[in-house]
Structure 1
């Protein structure tokens, strides 16, 4: 593990606290999952702190997955109480998502940091394009396809999400709404999917990162414990502030800004790896 001075440790803690605040505000503003915010912010923070490139993205992804264990549990419970979780779908889908998570986490644990960054960049661009160009209410079909296509979709959602360090919302919600799911049902079900992703994803991030050199201090595998304990309370504190601001700003403009941020981040990551 990399050696840090007390000043560098304090700087790391401040950066991680700031990450939680930014993630919470953006999540409150746009209703997006924390992972799609936390990973790119950690990427920028760790780059500024000169965390070794070989582990930078792995730690960003692993730490993000760990935070979803807490935030995802709270979100899934809230949606469960409101009856907006499709339990029948989860009963048929959980194992395919879980297999995707295991495959994705195993791949992520055995590829370079550059490759992992490239994957995040490409998918971030796709998510950005979906937010910018897809019309509200547009659907691909009236319902999810039957087996085995439905299971393949779950496998892909689980695999890509765990490699990006995100929960179920970023890919799950647009996928379900493409198949004519009501938005509230899609959001609630995706929140539960986030836990299916985060639990094995976090454990595998810890396992594959054990003994890896150049990780930030106080890291358990690829999960940075300082980040885990600072990001969760900071994002929880800041989310209501973001929600409050959202009522004073045009949501479509916020969505545009975030889509552009994701697009810029994706392009920057891809450029950094390839050039």
Structure 2
């Protein structure tokens, strides 16, 4: 048990740095690491992916607050964008948890692997927006928020892998897109956590100290470390070449995705 707790602390530390550095909430790292930890605990296979997604969402509540507050102090959060997209985010994320609850662990793993490969392509492509492109209107923002919310709930992330490129594509500078994405991650995480608690309520064979599909043991360990390390990621984001770091991260995600892909068979 102590070994698993130590792993959870390491996961939280890494997630916090990534949340501040890339505005991704750390879920892309948290979910596969939680799956690994829960397999070590010999938890029922049919519950592992749902628990990993729900716990990842709950941990991002804490990570995102620490991250966006640090970005806000540097003036790097576009609060107008946050206000315009939050309604779609809340609706899409909450509905997405009901979709996830109806899928098996195998399907959720397959979707997660596909999403990891998509993120790798996105990070390595380096496509640039047209200079005249701007953020869409009210309905466009609601639709974008809904899509980001649904996908985020299905893969247990804070939405940064979609919201950052969405904002950059609409000519918001990368550092402000990362800071704004950290703020958007909070409503995603809150809605996702409530959804996974609701859908996991009363499910049999959940591990001790679980609240629906949220493992409180893992959550506390990850939350403590991620809150401590998120400000470090913010400092790195404002001093290091983020594009180069994203390429390195893309390679890591590809390797993680490939490992999860082979675990499906």
The 1:124/1:179 distance shift into structure 2, 3 A limit, reads same
Aligned to 2:168: 177
Match of 2:80 among 88, 91, 111: 88
Q: How many residues align?
A: 264
In 1, Cα distance between equivalents of 2:60 and 2:200: 18
User: Are 1:131 and 2:123 counterparts?
Assistant: yes
> Any unmatched runs of 5+ in structure 1?
1-8
In 2, Cα distance between equivalents of 1:145 and 1:243: 28
In 1, Cα distance between equivalents of 2:187 and 2:21: 25
Aligned to 2:28: 36
Bigger Rg, structure 1 or 2: 1
Aligned to 1:153: 144
Helix, strand or coil at the partner of 2:263: helix
In 2, Cα distance between equivalents of 1:92 and 1:115: 32
Structure 1 residue 10 displacement after superposition = 3.1
Aligned to 2:111: 119
Aligned to 2:71: 79
In 2, Cα distance between equivalents of 1:167 and 1:245: 19
The 1:234/1:33 distance shift into structure 2, 3 A limit, reads same
The 1:261/1:163 distance shift into structure 2, 3 A limit, reads same
CA contact (8 A) 1:53 1:114 kept: no
The 1:42/1:79 distance shift into structure 2, 3 A limit, reads same
Match of 2:199 among 201, 208, 218: 208
Give the TM-score, by structure 2 length. Answer: 0.86
Larger CA deviation: 240-249 vs 139-148: 240-249
User: Are 1:106 and 2:106 counterparts?
Assistant: no
Give the TM-score, by structure 1 length. Answer: 0.83
The 1:212/1:70 distance shift into structure 2, 3 A limit, reads same
Aligned to 1:217: 208
Helix, strand or coil at the partner of 1:130: helix
Q: Structure 2 matches for 1:235-246, cutoff 5 A? A: 235-238=226-229
Match of 2:258 among 244, 247, 267: 267
Helix, strand or coil at the partner of 1:132: helix
In 1, Cα distance between equivalents of 2:136 and 2:238: 37
> Any unmatched runs of 5+ in structure 2?
none
In 1, Cα distance between equivalents of 2:150 and 2:216: 24
